[in-house]
Amino acid sequence: MATYPTSPVGFIPERTAPTRYTSGPSQHTRNVWGMQTNRDTSDKTMLPQWNKPIKFDYNQARKDTGVNRQYTGFVPKIFPTSPETSFKRYIPASQAYGEGYFDDPNAPGKSYFETNPEFKTFFPYEPDYAGLAALNEFEKSGKGFFDESTSRDIEDSYGYYTTQHPWNLGGQWTDSSGEILANARPHSEDISRRIAMNLSSDTDDWASYNYYNYPTSDKSYKDTALHEMKHHWLQGNVNPEATDLYRNYKGPEHDDPWHDEINLGEGMWSPNIDAMYADLDQAQNFMKMHRLGKSQFLNAQNPTYAGYNTGGIVSLVV
């Protein structure tokens, strides 16, 4: 099961390492992709308002996401639970790289990426293509992006997407208890508004735990925005290929499919947050999502582009 550094808040690790994170005045007055941090919530009504649209900076978001390249894929890792027992999971290659997983013992100070060219094929150095494809899709949709910092619905989360559950796509669904749900269940709010963000000072406080190896909370806001846009791309019934991928989910999380896989993106492209792990189904799902995003984003940029590697989970993890 993936851990949860973004919406909803629920994973606060014990911090023992020195932190680079600061909480001075500059931390509270940042403009991140058009999202103004440290929102004054003295007018908190605890009711959904949807009257504070965010002028989201899609161009800067594309630029920043495009230049944030990390080694992409998953590798196995054994987690001991006692001297006699352990379990096997898969961790993002970017985090494994930071842990020294790819260090070449025969070439001190170098990694296999430097001494073995094949590793660049196995684990391509890439941006968050699913995030880029989702960002393009959300911008094209013209749907709203709102500051809902004073709403009860967002009080304990970084943000949310208003069609977050599978029932919103309609059709039959079997929940985690085995109950068959036959009908669509629309969200109680206007789904045309789509994405809500929490820009209150609480968010900076949460980021001090999850993003303590980063100097500011900027990445938490960026990760949350991309996270919610991926929900729209997969679940909004707006992109046929992404909708098909969503409907054909195979994994452990039936109540909110693809949420764990979306969460894994934070660990992959913000590798200095606390380590994340997945089971094999989740790791494979993630790479399907990444490859679809890569295909759609690159095709949108240049239909004749060729020569890129599709990446994915390789023999190291299966």
Q: What is the pLDDT of residues 143-191, one digit of tens each?
A: 888 888 877 666 667 777 765 444 444 445 555 566 665 544 434 445 5
- Regarding predicted confidence, which is higher, 6 or 99? 99
User: Residue 43 pLDDT > 60, yes or no?
Assistant: yes
11 occurs within a structural domain: no
Does 100 map to a domain?
A: yes
pLDDT at 216: 82
Looking at residue 32, its pLDDT comes to 92
Q: What is the dihedral of CA 32, 33, 37, 39, to 10 degrees?
A: 170
* pTM, entire model: 0.80
Q: Which pLDDT tens digit goes with each residue over 240-296?
A: 999 899 888 887 776 678 889 999 999 999 999 888 889 999 999 999 999 999 999
Residue 35 lies in a domain: yes
pLDDT in tens, 187-236: 444 555 578 888 888 787 777 788 888 888 889 999 999 999 999 899 87
Query: How many separate domains does the chain show?
Result: 1
Model confidence over 105-138: pLDDT tens digits? 999 999 999 998 888 889 999 999 999 999 999 9
Asked whether residue 3 is domain-assigned, the answer is no
* Any domain includes 112: yes
Alpha-carbon distances, residue 120 vs 68, 92, 308 (angstroms): 16, 15, 12
Q: Residue 180 falls within a domain, yes or no?
A: yes
Q: Which residues pair with 174 in a beta bridge?
A: 180
* Residue 233 covered by a domain: yes
Q: Among residues 84, 125, 81, 85, which one has the least CA distance to residue 102?
A: 125
Q: Is residue 13 part of a domain?
A: no
CB 131 within 8 A of CB 120: no
| Pairing relationship of beta strands 173-174 and 180-181 according to DSSP bridges | antiparallel
Kindly write down the DSSP assignment for every residue of the chain, as one continuous string: ----SSSS----PPP-S------SGGGGG-EETTEESSB--TT--SS-----B----HHHHHHHHHH--EE-SEEEEEEESSSS-EEEEEEEHHHHHHTTTTB-TTSTT-BHHHH-THHHHHS-EE--HHHHHHHHHHHHHT--EEE-TT-GGGTTSSEEETT-SGGGG-S-EE-TTS-EE-S----SS-TTT-EEE--BHHHHHHHHHHTTTSSSSHHHHHHHHHHHHHHHHHHSS--HHHHHHHHT--SS--SSTTHHHHHHHHHHHSTTSS---B-HHHHHHHHHHHHHHHHHHHHHH-TT----------GGG-
Token output for 109: 């100070």
Domain hosting residue 227, numbered range: 30-302+310-317
pLDDT at 193: 57
